[in-house]
Amino acid sequence: MDIHFYKYQGTGNDFIILDNQDNAYSSLTTDQVRFLCSRRVGIGADGLMLLNKHELYDYQMVYYSVNGGEGHMCGNGGRCLIKYLFDKGIKKTIYRFWASDGLHEAEVDMQGLVRLKMRDVAKATGLKDHFILDTGTPNYVQFVQDLNKTDVTEEGKRIRYSEDFAEEGINVNFVESLDNHRIAVRTYERGLEGEALSCGTGVTAAALVSAHHVNGFNEVVAETRGGRLSVEFELLEDQQYRNIWLCGPAELVFKGEMNLEDDKIARLWDQAANKIAV
């Protein structure tokens, strides 16, 4: 199978995009997705997305984690998918697409930044020193005093594989408050099973529970290792979050062609397993 791919990144979170509107890539296997996402033997990415047609909306986004399995909603991935359409010359005031957690809207502003509307959040559960909330993907948010001294990989892995979360998995976000409207966020991401330079659903979750809790419009700026994102939302009196928008840059890294042959993939995986970590 010959594939034509586009690699995009949003604040360091990078993705392979395959335009599947003609169903050319609908038969991709788990091994093929893992191969493409491998930074040693493939293209290299945090995940892969198929851009499909949808009978009711403009498009459908199907997201695969780096481990090859179909994943939940990816905020930065959704923003990159919209920037791909914009760069292809498909200009809309509002883009509408279907993802694993339902309908999303997005827009590209005059500076080329992508604003993606996330799902509403009806509840943020506070438990001891952390919060749990679903922003399209389950997220665990823990506040720390010094983010740079936090062992994100080891502590994130411990929480993600704890008895409470091992089966379904959860993103683990460590957050340091910088001021009333700014936070710093580092995320251990399930599926990736390591620290991501940025995580859109994680930043969204962190921003919601970091807000100064003024009813009405709120905006929180999040500094990640991959760059800056902002989250705009409306807080209702009953502590529900509505009109949530994840905003930030998304850019083309490169594009190309690649041949996917199962025997070639098997050979490279075998070599890699004996020589390098993939």
As annotated, the active-site residues are 74, 199
* DSSP sequence for 251-265: EEEEEEEEE--HHHH
Sign of CA dihedral 204, 208, 209, 212: positive
Closest CA to 42 of 5, 84, 73: 5
Q: Please, are residues 47 and 37 in contact by the beta-carbon 8 Å criterion?
A: yes
- Greatest Cα-to-Cα distance within the chain, rounded to the nearest angstrom: 58
Dump strand ranges (E) for 57-101.
59-65, 95-99
CA of 173: how far to CAs of 72, 144, 178, 224, in Å? 17, 10, 15, 11
Q: How many CA atoms lie within 13 A of 155 on its CB side?
A: 15
What is the separation of C-alpha 51 from the centre of its chain, rounded to a whole number of angstroms? 15
CA distance linking residue 213 with residue 176, whole number of Å: 17
Backbone angles phi, psi at 154, to 5 degrees: -70, -45
CA distance linking residue 158 with residue 25, whole number of Å: 36
Backbone angles phi, psi at 272, to 5 degrees: -65, -40
Angular region, 218: left φ>0, alpha ψ -120 to 50, beta rest:
beta
